[in-house]
Structure 1
Amino acid sequence: MTTSAYARAEAETAPVLAEYIETHPFIACILEGTLTKPVYAAYLRETYHLVTQTPYFLSAAASHSDREWLQDWFLDLARDERHHNRLCVRDLEKLGIAPDEYLGIIPGLGTWTMVGQNHYLARAANPIGIIGFAAATEGLGATLAPKAAEAMRQYEFAKDALSFLKVHSTEDQEHIEVVRKGFDRCAESSEAYTVMVAAWKYTLRAYAQLFTDALERGGSDRAATAPRVG
């Protein structure tokens, strides 16, 4: 039986997933019951900045793709990813945090890296690489989000502030199949396979940094005095 390109890439990226994500202290603190409200709020803020940009770089990727099916692929995913930032805002409000001022703080290195990477891929490099980003993030949503959402039930402060995790634990089950098919279709080119796998690996490392940013910024008063957007 022939192994699909996606399956080969999944095996190739598995060591990065294991080293940077699965053993990350942020995941451990959620599962072990030591997560604090400031750290969870910081995670939502970092996520807000990422998902706010996601429809834009997906749409840009569509406009810079020369194949009609790929244009449609990016636009369909962009449509599905719209307004997910509103889920983060809702969850922050349920935590008792005024989002206008709180979200004015610029994102940390993890989010900054992913947003910059994907706008670069969409406009200046190879839009197909964004499929690697999607493989990483939708994969995390499909595998980690359900576990995290379940573990978050133990936190009284978060019981009404789980809309983002709940939505992604469901939607990403469907999205990962869409990503799998897009990846395999594009991987006919060795150049495309290489850039998708590179983006997949870099995204996992950047997402681990997002977790670190949430721990550090949520656990420190410095977050309140960080530089602001605009």
Structure 2
Amino acid sequence: MSQAVAARERLALAADLPLEQGLALYSTVAPHVGYAKVGLSLFVEHGPAAVAAFQKLGARVFLDLKLHDIPNTVELAAARAGALGVALLTVHAAGGEAMLKAAVKGAREGAKAQGHAAPKVLAVTVLTSLSAEDVTSIGFTGTPEAAAQRLAQLAVKAGVDGLVCSPREAEGLRRLLGPSPFLCTPGIRPAGAEKGDQARAETPAFAIRAGADLLVVGRPVHTAADPVAAARAIAEEVSSA
């Protein structure tokens, strides 16, 4: 596998845009980005059609719904997601062990029923928008890294395939959990980019060196004067790291 292909498989475009704009943007950056992340705004507006539209372009779809409900409800939703043929699906680790197990079961059964490979179920630990003060205010003890580690251990025990964490937590999770959990890091900002609402953002190189498998990029590409050049530069930074 060439370095360019390897970098492409480690990048996801957060398509937090109106659908037609998101599809057009993904089409232009697809040589450098292998995944399209369909989040809540797109899925609430368009539902499974948004997933199908990106799949038609050849994208591997990262369905970022952050499911968090009672186990039966999450199992049903995860089964529907698995049936769509998505590659990745997110749930909240804070939903607890029974809910996480239900998500994994549902996703696998839904995919199997439609002849798809099972999606990786990724448990969200601590949102990258939360600062240390925010983490304390919602009832977690210790630092964001400590909270992420506790939630990660719970999620891995429940059988999830991977975790979503900030780049700052990735290295500690690798030391704690080893090489097997798939680590996804949103909050990626190239050097000099505006951080926006990301409280714990880091550069692509930082995330890769910390042990991340997949980096999610959105606004640094959406808002660039030349989105293709921005995506290429991020992919090159991933390759060099």
**How does the TM-score come out when normalised to structure 2?**
0.23
Higher relative contact order (CA 8 A, sep 6+): 1
Q: Which has the higher strand share?
A: 2
Q: Which has the higher helix share?
A: 1
